[in-house]
Amino acid sequence: NAKTIQVKLVLLGEAAVGKSSLVLRFVNDEFQDNKEPTIGAAFLTQKCRLEDKIIKFEIWDTAGQERFHSLAPMYYRNAQAAVVVYDVTKAASLDKAKSWVKELQRQANPNIVIALAGNKVDLVQPAGEGEDESFEMESGRQVPTEEAKAYSNETGLLFFETSAKKGDGVTNVFTEIAKKIPLE
């Protein structure tokens, strides 16, 4: 007999980082290899059941292409939660994510819960074992986990790495946000 709370959540981030793919994974547990870019925004809902409450997420999945940037305030205004997404294989996408975080902190609800999600971790090849030291680095990765984690801690964001393709970490993003929403 848990109480249901509706929570407006917005996804922001550079084009092609995988915002729509994260939502598709969370809502339908599906993945599409050649997902078409979002035009304007898409709206989906999904529930998240916790012990003491049910959170019904009303999700606005925004378009990352620059020509849609001016629409974003319509979607983050009144949002109680935001997921700002970057691609761990593309350093510039973290810069874009940081600029979205700044915009949210200036213009959105001051109590908004913000999560940073580094997506596409399935494209990172794990570090090789010993022998040749030059093989110790992960390949494919452009954003070290520790760098994004440190930035998130400084800025007061939840931090996750995800793969919409494999499903890793995706539900966790939404569950951890749900836990942060007060029972009012």
Rule CB under 6 A: which residues touch ligand GTP? 13, 15-21, 32-35, 37-38, 63-65, 119-120, 122-123, 163-165
Question: Residues with Cβ < 8 Å from 42, sequence gap 6 or more?
Answer: 20, 23, 60, 61
Q: How far is the CB of 87 from ligand GTP (least distance, A)?
A: 8
Taking alpha carbons only, the member of 40, 111, 110 closest to residue 74 is 40
Half-sphere exposure of 61 (CA within 13 A, CB side): 21
Half-sphere exposure of 93 (CA within 13 A, CB side): 26
Q: Does 21 bind Mg ion (CB under 5 A)?
A: no
Return the axis-axis angle of helices 145-155 and 91-107, rounded to nearest 10°. Answer: 10
Measured from the CB atom, the residue of 66 and 147 that comes closer to ligand GTP is 66
Measured from the CB atom, the residue of 119 and 152 that comes closer to ligand GTP is 119
Taking alpha carbons only, the member of 20, 3, 116, 139 closest to residue 68 is 20
Q: How far is the CB of 6 from ligand GTP (least distance, A)?
A: 23
Q: How far is the CB of 36 from Mg ion (least distance, A)?
A: 8
Measured from the CB atom, the residue of 80 and 163 that comes closer to ligand GTP is 163
164 binds, among Mg ion, ligand GTP, none (CB under 5 to 8 A by kind): ligand GTP
Separation in Å, CA 135 to CA 103, 141, 142? 39, 13, 16
SS3 102: helix
Measured from the CB atom, the residue of 32 and 45 that comes closer to ligand GTP is 32
Q: How far is the CB of 130 from ligand GTP (least distance, A)?
A: 28
Q: Does 20 bind Mg ion (CB under 5 A)?
A: yes
152 binds, among ligand GTP, Mg ion, none (CB under 5 to 8 A by kind): none
For the sheet with 81-87, list strands across it.
41-49, 53-62, 3-13, 81-87, 113-119, 158-161
Identify the residue among 10, 22, 25, 38 touching Mg ion (CB under 5 A).
38
Measured from the CB atom, the residue of 20 and 119 that comes closer to Mg ion is 20
| Residues at the interface with Mg ion (CB under 5 A) | 19-20, 38
